[in-house]
Amino acid sequence: MVPKHRRGILRFNLNIKGIPYRTVWVEYPDIVRLSKQIGAEPTTTNPDGSGSPLYTLPAIYDPNTRIAMSESLAIARYLDKTYPSSGPTLIPKETDALHMAFVQAFSDAYFADAGQLLFPANCALLNPGSSAYVRQTRETWYNAKLEDFAPVGSEKRAQHWKGVEKALHTIKEWLEADGTEKMNVMGDRISFADIVVVSHLIWMRLVLGSASQEWTDMMKWDGGHWARFMAEFEKWETVDVGTEVVL
C-alpha cells in the first residue's frame, strides 16, 4: 500500500525478491484510517511537536500470515525472514545495525536539502485531497509556505541543489572508501541500503521530470555515477496498475 504518485522502497523490495503482490493506491488523508483498519502500527511521532502517533506508508498486509507491517526497514526484515527462499536477502543478519546506521546517515546527509526541493513539486502532482493534506502538514512542520521552500530561479534553490550534490558525492565517497569504484553499499551485491538511495532518486526524477535541466544535470554529477547506479535498477522498476483503496 503506497501513497498516490509514490514509487519506491517497498516496490523494489518485492520486485527484487520476486514476491507477488498487488498495489493499493492510497490518498494521504486516508493513511491513518487504513493503517488502523489493517492493523499497521504508527512508525514515529508527529513532527508538529504534539507527540501524537504518525502513521505512514508504505505498508503491507500479508494474506498468507495475516500480518500488517509498516516502516520500510521493518518490512524488509519481515520479507527476508518470512520468505527466505524468495530472491536475495536484502538485509543480511550480520548487517542489520549497519543498515540502520546507513539509512539514518543517508537521510541526514541528503534529505535536509532534497526535501526542500521535493515537497513543493510533489504537492503539485497530487490529487486535491492529498495536495491540501501535504501542504498543511509540511507547512506546519517547517513553519514556511511551500512556495518559499526553494523558489525556481532563486539563490535559495541553488544552495539546496549544491547541498544535494554534496550529499550524493559524500555517499559515493563512502562507497569507494577503499579507493575502488563501487555501485553498491555491499560491494558486488544489491542490498536494502541501495534500494533506499535509488528510491529517493526516483522520487526526485518523478517530481522534477526526467527531461528537466535539473535532473539532467544531476545525472552528470560524479562523472555520471548516479546515472549508472540507477540503470542497475531499471529492470525492477515495474509498476502494476493497482487498485484504489476502499475504506
* Environment class of 115 (CB within 10 Å of its CB; exposed 0-12, middle 13-18, buried 19+): buried
pLDDT tens digits for range 220-238? 999 999 999 999 999 999 8
The string of pLDDT tens digits covering residues 83-101 is: 999 999 999 999 999 999 9
**Which residues in the chain are classed under CATH 3.40.30.10?**
2-90
- Say if residue 183's pLDDT is above 90: yes
Give, in order, the Cα–Cα distances in Å from 112 to each of 6, 117, 227, 237.
19, 10, 22, 26
Contacts of 157 (CB under 8 A, 6+ apart): 117, 150, 151
* Chain centre to alpha carbon of residue 211: 21
| Domain topology for 93-236 | Glutathione S-transferase Yfyf (Class Pi); Chain A, domain 2 (1.20.1050)
CATH 1.20.1050.10 region(s) of the chain? 93-236
CA angle 79, 80, 85 (to 5 degrees): 105
66, three cell numbers: 495475516
Residue 6: per-residue pLDDT: 53
pLDDT digit string, tens, across residues 117-169: 999 999 999 999 999 999 999 999 899 999 999 999 999 999 999 999 999 99
How many CB atoms within 10 Å of residue 208? Answer: 18
Q: What is the fold, at CATH topology level, of the domain defined by 2-90?
A: Glutaredoxin (3.40.30)
| Stated pTM of the model | 0.93
3-59 confidence digits (pLDDT tens):
544 558 999 999 999 999 999 999 999 999 999 999 999 999 988 888 899 999 999
- Give the pLDDT confidence score for residue 5 in this predicted structure: 44
